[in-house]
A and B are shown apart, each in its own frame.
Chain A
């Protein structure tokens, strides 16, 4: 299975900050990388698919980049509703696998 590694595992930030989260795949996955946001007690919410495409209804402050093995999710101008856990997920081959998550909380 492809291993997905996220860093950092947690971070503290303030409203208005720019935040970046990285995700590394154990082998090349081209651009088959999705990003999800999850809040406690809720299902994951798709933010970015195919590494850089913004899912409908997601604010433009979320951007994704990268290809091959290294990917980044950036949130510019952090809002109160953005405090959550973020997961990357590869959709290159079965089984799809998720990263360990990055928890973003309030500084």
Chain B
């Protein structure tokens, strides 16, 4: 079955960086893209970025441009999200999801990674 398994919870200080991994299985990784979505407590989901596992093309949300980098390792079917210069309002659950963000759907999701930014 299709699964996306994310790395564990992180606690970081303001100004630090965090890198979250998302390992896919059960499908041909290179045939799909991976989106990253975050959800702050009690808030709606917020799309952050998308990466094509085949072409390595990327798109980023304007609000995080410059602080967020998404990458993939096709040899291990793993996607990564790195967020730098963390602030308290980056505290959220971060999800990876399979699919394309435009004219498409996010059909399988990771379990989520809680990132807490606190001094």
* Chain A residues with a Cβ under 8 A of chain B: 32, 34, 36, 42-46, 49-50, 55, 87, 89, 91-101
Contacts and interface: CB of A to CB of B under 8 A. Distances in A.
B95 A94 contact: no
A43 B62 contact: no
Nearest to B62: A95
Interface of B: 35, 44-47, 59, 61-62, 95, 97, 100-107, 109-112
A34 B105 contact: yes
28 contacts: A32-B103, A34-B106, A42-B111, A42-B112, A43-B95, A43-B97, A43-B109, A43-B110, A43-B112, A44-B45, A44-B95, A44-B106, A45-B109, A46-B107, A50-B105, A87-B44, A89-B45, A89-B106, A91-B102, A91-B103, A94-B59, A94-B101, A94-B102, A96-B102, A98-B46, A98-B47, A100-B44, A101-B44
B44 A92 contact: no
Given A34-B105, A91-B104, A96 B47 contact: yes
A94 B44 CA distance: 17
Contacts, number: 59
Contacts of B104: 49, 91
Contact of B106 (A42, A46, A50, A100): A46
Contacts of A45: 109
B45 A95 contact: no
Contacts of B46: 98
Given A42-B112, A49-B107, A89-B45, 5 more contacts: A46-B106, A49-B104, A91-B104, A93-B102, A101-B44
A49 B46 CA distance: 18
Nearest to A101: B44
